[in-house]
Amino acid sequence: MAVSLCGKRALLTRAQNYVCPKRFGYIVLVPEIGEDLPEKNPLQREDGLLEFGTVTVEKCVSVIGKQAVDVEKQVKELDGQLEAKEVSDVFREVVDPLEHIGAPLETTWGLAKTLYLGNSVLMPTKSYITIHERARRARMAKFSSPSIYKAIKEAQLKGSETLTEEQKRIVQKYLLEGKLNGLELKEDQKLRLNHVLSKLGNERSKFRQKVDMSTKQFNHVIEDYGLVRDFPPEVLQMFAKDPTQPTKGPWLVTLQPHVAANFLEYCPDRTMRWNLWQAQTRRSSNFGEKSLETSTHIEEIRFLRRDQAKILGYDSFVDMSMETKMAGSRKSVSKMLEALREKAKPAQDAELKSLQEYAGQFGFKGQLEAHDIPYYRRKQLKALHHYDEEIIREYFPLPKVLTGMLELCERMFQIRIVERPGVDTWHEDVRYFDVLDEEQPVAGFYLDLYTREDVKMQMKDNFGWTVGIRNRSSVTKTNPLSALIFNFPSPIYGKPSLLSFDDVVMLFQRFGYALQHLLTKVNYSEVAGVSNIEWDAVEVASHVMAHFLYNPTTLKEISSHYATEDPLTDAMVKSIQASRTHLAGYDLCQELYFSALDMELHARKDFWVDVMRELWPRYMTLPLEKKDAHPCSFTPIFSGDWAAAYFSHVWSQVIAADVYSAFHEASSNPEALAAVGRRFRDTFLAMGGACAPAEVFRRFRGRDPSPKALISVLGLKKFKGGGEESGKK
């Protein structure tokens, strides 16, 4: 899973990132602001777009430095004013001014993010870290203001009958942010909380550093071409020490996620696969270098999070996390996980039995183990369903896919997407599009499609991002602006960029995420687009867009052979559909296991090894290997932002499948399908974080969500198991 950079929501479970802004390690010193900076933002043009032509690192850092100082100064002034008076209209006197105060910084910060991902020469990593930390601290000032918090709380206590639904959500957001920032605490409790959060930040940092070092320690050089001859060209190029001569070697194997995954999938040598897999699952454990073990950090992080939650008045860190989740409670999450497990576990048993028999046809003896699954599942998928990634790729030239995707969105959501030439961008390949509603421009986005190895950010396990540059706000009279940045292969020798099906899925997902940002109709930037959407619902639109790719009509509309323009055959459509259900029980059980592990580790005090050993057989068919210590490198929950929230990935898939089932049910009736598209736009795309996602779902579907649709699309209905109903009731 990859997390997009859209909107930089003030997501409330990240409270540990917000209290006491100075606590994490170091304070970034911003260069001198300078006397000659104009009052108007020099990085924004008169037409509302961004000034990329004259941007420099120095100018960007200086402008953000000035804007950050201005934000903090104005918030402090507002705080002082509110302390000395009684507020009669909290939106006119508090929230509206804060919208104006924060808007310039948000836009400039969005520009910096875009450059960081799109042109590392203009925005090196070190410079962006400086900007990011400075902007983040300034943005959080309003959520740490006692007077702002008091004014909003008093407004709520006086009664919210006159507030709109959107305004109530904003009030709830400020109050919850304030609570999680310790504004309800006494002074001694605040000091204790700050101490806990400071230690927690240090422990999380140490955890990531050790995992990174442990990951980099492993590498294996392959000299024998026979071991890599079955690797697809682009995979072989990934491994080659000299990418310009991928077939000549040598080839380097590392634990970087995309490298390790491809190696396990294509390497025919079982011993070498095991060697990589054991290194992967034992990273930072007691079975390796002692100085890099993270077990002690895991226990300390868990302890500190329990302490944090108790100081803030919660029974556990999980209960604190549920404040910002659509699920609402640990009980709802457990119910959903169990409903899916009851179908997925029997499916996994049958899938692995079938795979064992298939491997036996090639002379494989003994029992399949975890490091065998990727290799034999690829071969079985090709044998059973004729799924050949290299052939499929020839039918997905990027220009055709892009045109088809934009036309689908235009038709489904009654909009027009029009390219505007001559717009100033950070590279000549970048394009700009206006989004029109009833022929009026309502939003715009930059599109940067192709890899540029020397200047473009490339994270090893993520090749696409959505950046929310500017939110919609009726208060500041601004329309949404976004950037979509990818690393697809560049066209070469007249041959267009050809996408793998995984690439196509990623493109649709990123655009689905962008649509929430671009088509929002709310009035306040604090809840516009993906801002303030609960974590377990924020990926719903992304997954809904991906579901369209398994519809035969859509597949054929976005594809044709790059040379002959022949359409995708019915047999190839079926093979693509089959790829989604092949070993779906095994894949889903892995996600369910990690979700349950995360929840239990943050709800219980038992040693992490005991929790792992207890949960593993409940979800996984293959036995747990004696030295498997995968939690020691589980960075998303221990050093990332997914603590007690990892289930969100599965939860959003459940919601998205149920949402898409409405499109599927109406697919044979054009009028009904158009009505579903309008309803989806008016709810999930338009309402953003201005309405609770459970209520958004009810307005779209007319009922509460169920896992039945996901179980169906993954082909798990035929397997025995009960308890299909789930979701927040």
Average pLDDT over residues 161-169: 91
pLDDT tens profile 622-643:
999 999 999 999 999 999 999 9
pLDDT(729) > 60: no
Q: Are strands 431-437 and 416-419 parallel, antiparallel or unpaired?
A: antiparallel
Distances (CA, A) of 667 to 243, 553, 578, 682: 45, 10, 20, 19
The amino acid at residue 487 is: N
Mean pLDDT of the 19-24 span:
33
> Residue 38 has what pLDDT?
46
**pLDDT at residue 520, rounded to an integer:** 97
| pLDDT confidence of residue 32 | 37
**Digit-coded pLDDT (tens) for 475-499:** 999 999 999 999 998 998 889 999 9
How confident is residue 37, by pLDDT bands cut at 50, 70 and 90? very low
Q: Identify the band that residue 667 occupies on the pLDDT scale cut at 50, 70 and 90.
A: very high
> pLDDT tens across 180-228, in order?
999 999 999 999 999 999 999 999 999 999 999 999 999 999 999 999 9
Q: Are 567 and 560 in contact (CB under 8 A)?
A: yes
Cβ–Cβ under 8 Å, residues 480 and 520? yes
What pLDDT band is residue 157 in, cutting at 50, 70 and 90?
A: confident
CA distances from 94 to 8, 111, 174, 425 (A): 21, 27, 11, 36
The reported pLDDT for the residue numbered 4 is 42
Structure-token pair, residue 71: 């934000």
Q: Report the distance separating Cα 419 and Cα 416, nearest Å.
A: 10
pLDDT digits (tens, 9 = 90+) for 432-479: 999 999 999 999 999 999 998 778 766 645 678 999 999 999 999 999
User: Taking all residues of the chain, what is their mean pLDDT, rounded to a whole number?
Assistant: 91
pLDDT of residue 40: 65
Q: pLDDT per residue over 330-385, tens digit each?
A: 999 999 999 999 999 999 999 999 999 999 998 999 999 999 999 999 999 999 99
Tokens of 676: 């579903």
Does residue 446 sit in helix, strand or coil? Answer: strand
Which stretches within 241-329 are classed as H helix? 257-266, 270-281, 295-311, 317-321
Fill in the amino acid letter for 223.
E
